[in-house]
């Protein structure tokens, strides 16, 4: 079966669905809602890279990256749409934007031993340490 997908900048009207996507990932539940405040989300929307991936019906995933620092703050695809290329397309688009902003590396953190860690490592992201939340910090050359 062929799936259609389109990437575009996130809009304020997407925020309810973005929240559903963020909370619709079984493996990486947001246990501390304060960790992703509305202020941070709107900052990424207004000042940084915030892209969504949608199918013919609705938003299925999103990525947020800080083009000033090379930090990928969030990349999530709702469980039912995983494995259809949304995550790869979003990551590639974010990395292109970071490369265009003259970064040589991108970095992020994620849970140790998660599917997310496996996703990044399979795309040549390399661990550089563990952060204060106990997550692995990964870097990739752009």
The model's pLDDT over 40-59, given as tens digits with 9 standing for 90+, comes to 888 999 999 999 999 999 99
pLDDT digits (tens, 9 = 90+) for 1-36: 567 899 999 999 999 999 999 988 887 655 555 566
CATH number of the structural domain spanning residue 95: 3.40.630.30
| CA 14 and chain centroid, separation | 15
Domain presence at residue 17: yes
Domain presence at residue 137: no
Domain presence at residue 35: yes
Give the burial class of 10: count Cβ atoms within 10 A of its Cβ; 0-12 exposed, 13-18 middle, 19 or more buried.
buried
Question: Which residues are registered as beta bridge partners of 61?
Answer: 53, 77
Domain presence at residue 95: yes
* Domain coverage including residue 49: 6-106
Alpha-carbon distance 106 to 98, whole Å?
7
Instruction: Give the pair of three-digit tokens for residue 22.
Output: 């963020």
pTM above 0.85, yes or no: yes
CB 85 within 8 A of CB 59: no
Structural domain total, the chain:
1
């Amino acid at each position: 079966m062929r799936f259609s997908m389109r990437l575009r900048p996130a809009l304020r009207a997407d925020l309810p669905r973005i929240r559903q996507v963020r909370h619709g990932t079984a493996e990486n539940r947001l246990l501390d809602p304060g960790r992703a405040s509305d202020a941070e989300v709107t900052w990424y929307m207004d000042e940084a890279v915030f892209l969504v991936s949608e199918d013919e019906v609705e938003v299925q995933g999103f990525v947020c990256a800080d083009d000033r620092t090379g930090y990928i703050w969030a990349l999530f695809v709702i469980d039912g749409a995983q494995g259809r290329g949304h995550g790869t397309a979003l990551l590639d688009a974010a990395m292109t934007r970071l490369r265009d902003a003259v970064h040589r590396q991108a970095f992020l953190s994620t849970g140790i031993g998660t599917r997310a860690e496996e996703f990044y490592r399979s795309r040549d992201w390399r661990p550089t340490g563990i952060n204060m939340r106990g997550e692995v910090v990964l870097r990739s050359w752009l």
